[in-house]
Amino acid sequence: MRFSVLLVPVLLLIIPSMFENKHKEEVERDWEKVSVSKVLEALGEEPCWELDSSIPGVSAQKGYDLFHTGFITSDKGNTRRKQSKHFVCTSCHNIEKEDPDLSVSDPEARLSYTSSKGLPFLQGTTMYGAVSRRTFYNDDYEKKYGDLVFEARENIRNAIQLCAVECAQGRELEDWEIESLLAYLWTIDLKIADLNLNASELGSLNTALDNEEQSAEMATLIKSKYMAGSPAHFSDPNIDREMYGKSADMDNGELVYKQSCLHCHENGRYSYFHLDTTAMSMKYLTRKVEKYNDLSIYQVVRYGVHSVSGRKSYMPHYPLEKMSHQQLLDLRAYIENKG
């Protein structure tokens, strides 16, 4: 009796600390490798978008295949019909980090960052770090997709499905396909090194991982270093038209043209409409610029090109966060100068 009376308080002290140490050892401290979600979990945050292990046949490799090629093969060896005749996910989404500072969405900073890495500059947000986001199709996307957005806004699985059908203009995905895409997205989560923490913040993170009282504060700091949703505000092309004549940077316009337009239009990669860097392409675009139809860069950039019956393929428009007024001005200057 005396023994157990003594033992209980001792165990109460020892047992939680055993668990605590075990828990802490799980977090690797190689910041190039360790995912932001893992660290937040270790700091006591609720996990989000966890994989559903009850769905058979799911794998990150299959998700990778579907994302990059449009094809996916089940465990039984059946390859499904290509997800979209027109696009693959990488037509519109990068899979690498595309913003030097993840806490802001700045298209100017993004363009110089992606260009320096040889990455395209696209209408869709990178899927790198998508699992760290909490909301999707933000702000003005409601205007484009209406009620469809409500189901997708706070649910990554529905966001994937919405994009497969509406953005990629393809077939609906089955549950195991969505889960495989999610498993793939988990392999490209943000890493702590992506957050540009300074030496003192990294020191505090190390301390907080061993010291529960500092967990909540550290989690708040980490979350302030990246955006939990990708902002999207649409613009009227007339606002851009009115800016003509203001100073423009042709070199920057060249980057927009090469890293964005040519990603889809060169050799008709994702569009029957071919563009290149010859004077012929530039003259064509220059002649159309003042028009009020799909051939004017103002219209296509701000409104996109809609799918019509017989031609389901379409061009997604650029919200202001994906192409600034200045960048569109620069693009025009480049095209006119070369044309």
Residues that bind ligand HEC (CB under 6 A): 67, 83, 87, 89, 91-93, 122-125, 130, 133, 136-137, 141, 159-160, 163-164, 167-168, 181, 230, 232, 260-261, 263-265, 270-273, 294-295, 297, 300-301, 305, 311, 313-316
Pick between residue 35 and residue 260 the one whose CB is nearest to ligand HEC.
260
Pick from 163, 152, 125: nearest CA to 318 = 125
- State the minimum distance, in angstroms, from the CB of residue 176 to ligand HEC: 14
- State the minimum distance, in angstroms, from the CB of residue 128 to ligand HEC: 11
Pick between residue 110 and residue 133 the one whose CB is nearest to ligand HEC.
133
- State the minimum distance, in angstroms, from the CB of residue 53 to ligand HEC: 20
Q: How far is CA 242 from CA 18, 129, 309, in A?
A: 67, 36, 33
Burial (0-12, 13-18, 19+ Cβ within 10 Å), 71: middle
Count of Cβ atoms closer than 10 Å to residue 320 Cβ: 21
Pick between residue 42 and residue 67 the one whose CB is nearest to ligand HEC.
67
Q: Report the distance separating Cα 15 and Cα 19, nearest Å.
A: 6
Rg (CA), the chain: 24
Pick between residue 205 and residue 281 the one whose CB is nearest to ligand HEC.
281
- Any idea which residue has 């009796």 for tokens? 1
In our burial notation (b when 16+ CB lie closer than 10 A, e otherwise), range 305-315 reads beeeeeeebbb
Distance between first and last Cα of the chain:
95
Pick between residue 167 and residue 209 the one whose CB is nearest to ligand HEC.
167
- State the minimum distance, in angstroms, from the CB of residue 43 to ligand HEC: 23
Q: Report the distance separating Cα 206 and Cα 264, nearest Å.
A: 44
CB 27 within 8 A of CB 12: no
- State the minimum distance, in angstroms, from the CB of residue 201 to ligand HEC: 25
- State the minimum distance, in angstroms, from the CB of residue 159 to ligand HEC: 4
- State the minimum distance, in angstroms, from the CB of residue 226 to ligand HEC: 12
- State the minimum distance, in angstroms, from the CB of residue 16 to ligand HEC: 38
- Any idea which residue has 């530039």 for tokens? 282
Pick between residue 35 and residue 94 the one whose CB is nearest to ligand HEC.
94
- Any idea which residue has 């809609």 for tokens? 306
Pick from 333, 303, 329, 335: nearest CA to 318 = 303
Count of Cβ atoms closer than 10 Å to residue 226 Cβ: 19
Pick between residue 263 and residue 325 the one whose CB is nearest to ligand HEC.
263
Pick between residue 195 and residue 316 the one whose CB is nearest to ligand HEC.
316
